[in-house]
Structure 1
Amino acid sequence: MNNNFSIVIICKNEKGNIERVLQSLAGVSSDVVVYDSGSTDGTLESLQTFPVRVVQGPWHGFGKTKRHAVSLAQNDWVLCLDADEAIDTELQQTLKTLQLANNQVAYRIVFKNLLGEKHLRWGEWGGDQHVRLFNRTVVNWDEAIIHERLIIPSSVTIQQLKGHVLHRTMKDTVEYSQKMVQYALLNAEKYFRQGKRSTWVKRWLSPPFAFAKHYVFGLGFLDGWEGLLSARMTAFYTFLKYARLRELEKRETSNGRRETEETLPL
């Protein structure tokens, strides 16, 4: 067991995944923190059977919530995982013996993304890899409500770890479609706050381009039915995101016009 780093997981209603993840982490770190933001499906009861620290609190958006959860770790070195991300045997062994002496190094891990039981090797999910192990005094999450990113200074060197994160993206089309709607609406809100616009090109051309990029040019068709499903869902997500952003823009314009009319002298 490695006492030099903590493992941090955020979750809500992940009973179907959290047990698998925690089983894969057995004996890897002496400090595992699970931040739960309101589970009602039995997740908390499942967590009681594992040697982890459970912290319950509000949801602040993906970036802020992960940043807060990282602050709860006992160690400055932190491995961040989502509740649907387990680790394979090779990564387990790598982490158990890893020496963490230089806080100017962050570690990247290759992901194996699964749709149901299908490993997606091509398209949007193929060749996926992310920095997930870092020293929080140097690297940390931004505060984005969705599509959060790590803020990594240019002085930090990225090294690759042996092994894989096994990411179970969605179990079926129901969960897939629900997540795409949720993420599209949240990202539209994010874009609106950033002042981005829903142009004609974005609304009409971005969805088919996203499909072609991942299914044709990214060779997603080699993943069979799951490759087609993934590419179509991404195109739908892209369309919905810009459609919702257009609604937010029109609402702002309408409210501004109304306020102007109310202030005009009679």
Structure 2
Amino acid sequence: MSAPRPALSVVIITLNAASQLEACLQSAAFADEILVVDSGSTDGTIALAERYGARVIHQKWLGFGPQKQFAVEAAQHDWVLCLDADERVSPELRASLENALKAPCTAAFRFARCNRFLGRYLKHGEGYPDWSLRLFDRRQARWSDDAVHEKVVTQAEIGTLSGDLLHDSAESLASYLTKQNRYTSLAAEMALSAGKRATFGRIALSPLVRFIKFYLIRQGFRDGLPGFIHIAIGCFNSFSKYAKMLERQKADAAAVKSAP
């Protein structure tokens, strides 16, 4: 008889995710607990989660890192798998995950995240493998406090699982661009708070370096036109972040200059 695995909580943060959440919940049905931390949905997200047996609690928005850490701490079990509402666990990833938990060789595991963009799952460039550390023992790992581009931090060795986490946001290109604009604003604020500064070199070269790395070296061109558009937006995001930093730097300098 195979060894039992430790109890597992799947934690999901949501806000008006009813159109995406069902597939996520279905893929997470193998967990011992599904916890949904909602920040004020009005579209039926909560009713949908409860219909699938999830435990739902409300928490006003804290920022991505703090919100996810709140969810981890509210889970019933120490082993947690963190998902977004527009993600789902592939059958191969589920099998790999459950097998790894029967005799964990470490306290944290990463796996590939496969992103769907303009109707195509990207398999190269910036869109894949998009390594994501999402399965961990919360006693030895936690989410960072970053408001955006949050990550799991741990001193444990990081194991790698086979199988993909499928990311299918089903959002329009317009909403995707709106989200990227918001993310670059947050990223600019974080960089400035960390003491970084925008320079001509960073503004001019960061998009070019990103294009060479992901479109050429990582062969994003193999994903066709969706792959090109994806990296083009990514390059503009690099430019936009540093441009927003420069704008803030100039505003701060002007404020200091005009102060009595």
Same topology, TM > 0.5: yes
Conserved? CA contact 1:103–1:135, under 8 Å: no
The residue that corresponds to 1:220 in the other structure is 220
The 1-side partners of 2:230 and 2:65 are apart by: 25
Change (3 A) 1:222 1:40: same
* Alignment of structure 1 residues 49-68 onto 2, 5 Å: 49-68=51-70
CA distance in 2, matches of 1:86, 1:214: 25
1:210 alignment partner in structure 2: 210
Corresponding position of 2:257: 257
- In structure 1, the partner of 2:244 is 244
CA contact (8 A) 2:221 2:227 kept: yes
Q: CA deviation at 1:3?
A: 5.9
Mapped partners of 2:240, 2:71: distance in 1: 30
Query: Mean Cα displacement is larger for which, 97-106 or 42-51?
Result: 97-106
Counterpart AA for 2:232? R
What is the Cα deviation at residue 252 of structure 1? 1.5
CA distance in 1, matches of 2:36, 2:6: 17
Alpha-carbon contact 1:8-1:33 (below 8 Å) kept? yes
Q: Which moved more, 1:210-219 or 1:135-144?
A: 210-219
> What amino acid sits opposite 2:23 in the alignment?
R
In structure 2, what residue type is equivalent to 1:60? L
Q: Distance in 2 between matches of 1:67 and 1:103?
A: 23
From the superposition, tell whether residues 161 and 217 of structure 1 become closer, same or farther in structure 2 (CA, over 3 Å): closer
Q: Does 1:36 find its partner at 2:38?
A: yes
CA distance in 2, matches of 1:187, 1:226: 24
- Residues 203, 169 of structure 1: alpha-carbon distance in 2 compared, 3 angstrom cutoff: farther
**1:39 Cα deviation (Å)?**
2.0
Specify whether residues 223 and 118 from structure 1 end up closer, same or farther in structure 2 by C-alpha distance, changes over 3 A only.
same
Q: Which amino acid aligns with 1:118?
A: R
Shift of 1:99: 3.4
Contact 2:15–2:40 (CA<8 Å) still a contact in 1? yes
Q: Map of 1:162-181 to 2, 5 A cutoff?
A: 162-169=162-169, 171-181=171-181
SS at structure 2 position matched to 1:48: helix
Superposition deviation, residue 159 in structure 1:
2.0
Residue type at the aligned position of 1:16? S
Consecutive unaligned residues in structure 1, runs of 5 or more:
none
Verify the 8 A CA contact 1:198 1:245 in the aligned structure 2.
yes
Q: Which amino acid aligns with 1:181?
A: N
Q: How does 1:109-258 map to 2 (within 5 A)?
A: 109-153=111-155, 156-169=156-169, 171-258=171-258
Are 2:10 and 1:7 equivalent residues in the alignment? yes
Q: Does 2:1 match 1:17?
A: no
What per-residue deviation string (whole Å, max 9, x for no partner) do you get for residues 157-188 of structure 1? 22222322111255331222112111111101
For residues 243 and 187 of structure 1, what CA distance do their matches in structure 2 show?
11
Cα deviations by residue, 1:24-65 (Å, 9 ceiling, x for unpaired): 112x11211111112233322322321001111111111111
What is the percentage of aligned positions where both structures have the same residue?
35
- Match of 2:232, SS state, is helix
Report the AA paired with residue 177 of structure 1. Answer: L
| Partner SS, residue 101 of structure 2 | coil
Q: Out of 69, 78, 81, which is 1:79 matched to?
A: 81
1:150 CA drift (Å) = 1.3
TM-score, normalised with respect to structure 1: 0.89
Q: Where does the alignment leave 5 or more consecutive residues of structure 2 unmatched?
A: none
- Check conservation: 2:106, 2:159, Cα contact below 8 A: no
Question: What RMSD over aligned residues (CA atoms) do the two structures have, in Å?
Answer: 2.0
Cα separation, partners in 2 of 1:5 and 1:240, compared to 1, 3 Å: same
